[in-house]
């Protein structure tokens, strides 16, 4: 997909423009940065269709909750750079962007700490039955509070297995050690000996990690290698007393296998912030007592979302001005 020279020449004299594909409210937001105009889709309905109709006007794109596919890129005759609004970029066809000569970046700096904190919150809520007991208290169905089935699981001295030891996985390890957890990890590439010492983390194969862990926390991006990484076979390797946390991507876990596993108490429970079909997860997940669910809100604090927007915009502006971006992925 090569751009024709006359198309680029036609737009060379025009002012550079950036499009943000979702209505936003950000502190200190300006509609012009360093002489580059910034426009925002004000209507949240059919954002893909709106973007598709207008994409030929823009040099840069901040991509929020829409797919950037070959059809979109075919029309993006001026487009030079896309920044994902977040650390995940599986909604962007990176191969098609490369063929079109469009750079792709993401925003790891502003997402790392809030996502790791969310993973800790989900783990504690699940292990200490916070969400379950909250529901039973409010619905007057708790019964006697000291019953054994109201008791949670001790966090300290348990083993946390981290799948994906990147920025967020490392932040998760740091926080978990403060709770007295033992850290093991699996990663596509093993960490250096220095990093293993810093994070007091021991490398395991995926099968051995699943077998040994009391808690498994997923922090891997979704790609061809990680899709359905945790399926029926992998879930069977986990202890019946173990917990599964996912703040990575929904497609990393086979949801049919997980539902069967939870319904039959093959593991103790799961807490997920991400699902294959967002924002409408499977009905079974909403009714399972041993499942905690949240609506992909790992970065849902005002400060984090402001930081994500400023980082994403910073990526696009930097690239258009010939400077380095925070994190270029393609």
Q: Which of 249, 255, 305, 311 is catalytic?
A: 249
256 near 285, Cβ under 8 Å? no
Q: DSSP for 66-109?
A: S-B-HHHHHH-SS--EEEESSS--TTB-HHHHHHHT-EEE--HH
296 is catalytic: yes
DSSP string, 243-298: EEEE-S-GGGB-HHHHHHHHHTTSSSEEEES--SSTTS--HHHHH-TTEEE--S-T
3-state secondary structure of 63: strand
What HEC string does 12-32 produce?
Answer: CCCCCEEEECCCCCCCCCCCE
How far is 75 from 55, CA to CA, in rounded Å?
A: 7
Report the residue count for the chain: 330
| 117 φ, ψ (degrees, to nearest 5) | -65, -40
Distance CA 307, CA 85 (A): 10
β-sheet with 32-33: strand ranges across? 32-33, 36-40, 17-20, 60-63, 81-84, 103-105
Which pair of tokens denotes residue 219? 């922090």
> Integer distance in angstroms from the first to the last C-alpha of the chain?
16
Q: Is 147 a catalytic residue?
A: no
Catalytic annotation, pick one of 7, 39, 263, 278 = 278
Residue 50's CB is within 10 A of a number of other CB atoms, namely 17
Per the residue annotation, which of 167, 186, 296, 305 is the catalytic one? 296
> Residue 293, exposed/middle/buried by CB under 10 A (0-12, 13-18, 19+)?
middle
Among residues 298, 330, 311, 300, the alpha carbon closest in space to that of 99 is found at: 330
| Residues noted as catalytic | 249, 278, 296
């Amino acid at each position: 997909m090569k751009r024709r020279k006359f198309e680029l020449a036609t737009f060379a004299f025009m002012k550079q423009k950036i499009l943000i594909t979702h209505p936003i409210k950000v502190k200190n937001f300006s509609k012009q940065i360093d002489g580059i105009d910034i426009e925002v889709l004000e209507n949240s309905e059919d954002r893909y269709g709106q973007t598709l109709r207008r994409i030929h006007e823009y040099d840069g794109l901040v991509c929020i909750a829409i797919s950037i596919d070959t059809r979109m890129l075919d029309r993006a005759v001026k487009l030079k750079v896309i920044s994902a609004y977040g650390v995940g970029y599986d909604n962007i066809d990176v191969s098609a962007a490369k063929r079109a000569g469009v750079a792709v970046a993401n925003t790891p700096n502003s997402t790392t700490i809030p996502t790791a904190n969310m993973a800790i919150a989900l783990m504690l809520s699940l292990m200490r039955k916070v969400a379950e007991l909250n529901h039973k208290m409010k619905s007057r169905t708790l019964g006697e509070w000291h019953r054994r089935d109201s008791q949670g699981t001790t966090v300290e001295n348990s083993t946390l297995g981290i799948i994906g030891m990147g920025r967020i996985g490392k932040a998760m390890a740091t926080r978990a050690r403060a709770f007295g957890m033992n850290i093991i990890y699996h990663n596509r590439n093993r960490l250096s000996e220095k990093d293993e010492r810093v994070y007091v983390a021991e490398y395991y194969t995926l099968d051995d990690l699943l077998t040994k862990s009391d808690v498994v926390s997923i922090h891997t991006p979704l790609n061809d290698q990680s899709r359905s990484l945790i399926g029926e076979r992998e879930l069977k390797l986990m202890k019946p007393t173990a917990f599964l946390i996912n703040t990575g991507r929904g497609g990393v876990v086979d949801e049919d296998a997980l539902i069967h596993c939870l319904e039959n108490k093959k593991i103790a429970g799961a807490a997920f912030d991400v699902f294959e079909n967002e924002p409408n997860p499977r009905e079974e997940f909403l009714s399972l007592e041993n499942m905690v669910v949240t609506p992909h809100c790992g970065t849902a604090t005002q400060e984090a979302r402001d930081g994500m927007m400023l980082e994403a915009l910073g990526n696009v502006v930097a690239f258009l001005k010939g400077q380095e971006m925070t994190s270029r992925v393609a």
